[in-house]
Structure formats: C-alpha cells, structure tokens
Amino acid sequence: MNQKLLDYLQTYLTERRRDLFDRVLSERTYHVTVAVEDVYQLHNTSAVIRSCESFGVQHLHVIEEVNVKRIDREIAMGAQKWVDVQRHTSTKACIQSLKANGYRIVATTPHKKAYRLEDFDSTQKAAIFFGRETEGLSNDVLEAADDFIYIPMVGFTESLNISVSAAITLQHIMTRLKSSDISWQLSTEEIFEKKMEWTQKMIKDVDRIIARWEEDQNS
C-alpha cells in the first residue's frame, strides 16, 4: 500500500525530479555521520550542512549545549531540506546515542596522537566530530573518542576553518568508501522512506491529496 501511495504521489513530480531523487539517493549514506559541537559562528554550521548534502552524508548531529542558533538558510542553500539534522542539548547524550547505533566516535584534532586523514580506516561506521572555532572539541568528546584524525598541513597555522575541514574530510572519506567493497549505501527500505519524505515535501497541500487517495482506496 505504501508503495502504491508513493507511486501515486510521484505522478505530481516531473520526470526530471523523480530521476534526480533516484540518482541522489543512490549516493547517500548512513555509514558516516557528522557531529558539530557548539559551533559559535552560525554560517559554519550551515556550511557543514551544505557539505554533508553535497557529499552524500544523510545525517548531521548539531550539539547545542552552549551555543543555540538557527540554521542560516542562505548559506545552507536549501541543503537543510535534504539532510536529516538532529539537535542535541548534551554532548554526552549525543555520544551515547551514536555509540548505541554502532558508530565509532572520531575526533578531528591536531593535538592528539591521530591518524592522518588519508590513513584513516573508514571500514567501520564513523561519527566525525568537529568542534568550536577557537577551543576545538570538548574533553567529553576527546575522552570518549575511539579514533583521532587530522588533515596534514605545512603552513604556520595548525587548523582550518571548521567548514573547510569538514568539506575536505567528507570528500576524502566518501571517495574512499565509493572505491571500496563496503556496503555504505542506504538500504532499500531507507531509500523508500527518504523518497516518500522528499516527495511529500515537493507537493503543495499534500495532506489533502493523501486523504483523497486513501478515500479512493477504501471506496
């Protein structure tokens, strides 16, 4: 029945939009997720959302234990519509949730004994943590981390802007995943769920249309 409903709703979309959904969802993953911890500059969080969407990372965790701000829609460029953004008020609670879902906690930091990004083993599910612009990640993350990674640099500065760091990290990890034998893509059920969600987002007055469809099915 749900497949029949999706098939019906997709008649309200153009063929180009339907094909685009199929193409984009074939490149999406839950194998990697991202967490940003109390980022101060709003545009940085928004830019990370855009990077997640661009490189196929479907889930982003935003920790707002200290700084609580809304997404800058102009910088995110609509990416927030296509990425699952989950907000947390506690770093520890976020970590516990991710670990319970099988994710290794990976801290991005130049200060710990860490793997170079190109040497990082991406075969296991990983939650990549990025910290505040000046202080970096909290001790809660550093103490709970299973792995540490850094982007090698040869200049005087020892760290990049968080949005730049996230983009470089995700591009590298996703490229590695796609050339591996790892089952990193969404399952058939997950693809269906996202396609149903995205399709409904595109249809004006979708609740009325669904109600009318259900009446027709029951008549």
pLDDT classification of 112: cutoffs 50, 70, 90:
low
Stretch 18-43: mean pLDDT: 91
Chain mean position to CA 181: 21
pTM above threshold 0.75: yes
pLDDT at 107 over 90: yes
Q: Return d(Cα 171, Cα 105) in angstroms, integer.
A: 19
Class of residue 2 by CB neighbours under 10 A (exposed 0-12, middle 13-18, buried 19+):
exposed
Q: What is the pLDDT of residues 164-219, one digit of tens each?
A: 999 999 999 999 999 999 999 999 999 999 999 999 999 999 999 999 999 888 87
- Give the count of beta carbons closer than 10 Å to the beta carbon of residue 172: 17
**Degrees (nearest 5) of the Cα angle 141, 147, 148?**
75
pLDDT for position 132: 79
Which residues are bridge partners to 116 per DSSP? 150
Q: How far apart are the first and last CA of the chain?
A: 15
Q: Where are the beta strands (DSSP E) in the chain?
A: 32-37, 59-63, 84-88, 104-108, 115-116, 126-130, 147-150
Class of domain 38-196: alpha beta
Residue 163: per-residue pLDDT: 87
Q: How far apart are CA 34 and CA 98, in angstroms?
A: 10
* pLDDT value of position 76: 43
Across the beta sheet with 147-150, the strand order is: 84-88, 59-63, 32-37, 126-130, 104-108, 147-150, 115-116
Domain residue limits, the chain: 38-196
The amino acid occupying position 208 is R
User: pLDDT tens for residues 58-90?
Assistant: 999 998 877 665 554 544 446 778 999 998 989
**Which amino acid does the sequence have at 173?**
I
When pLDDT is averaged across residues 20-49 and rounded to a whole number, the result is 90
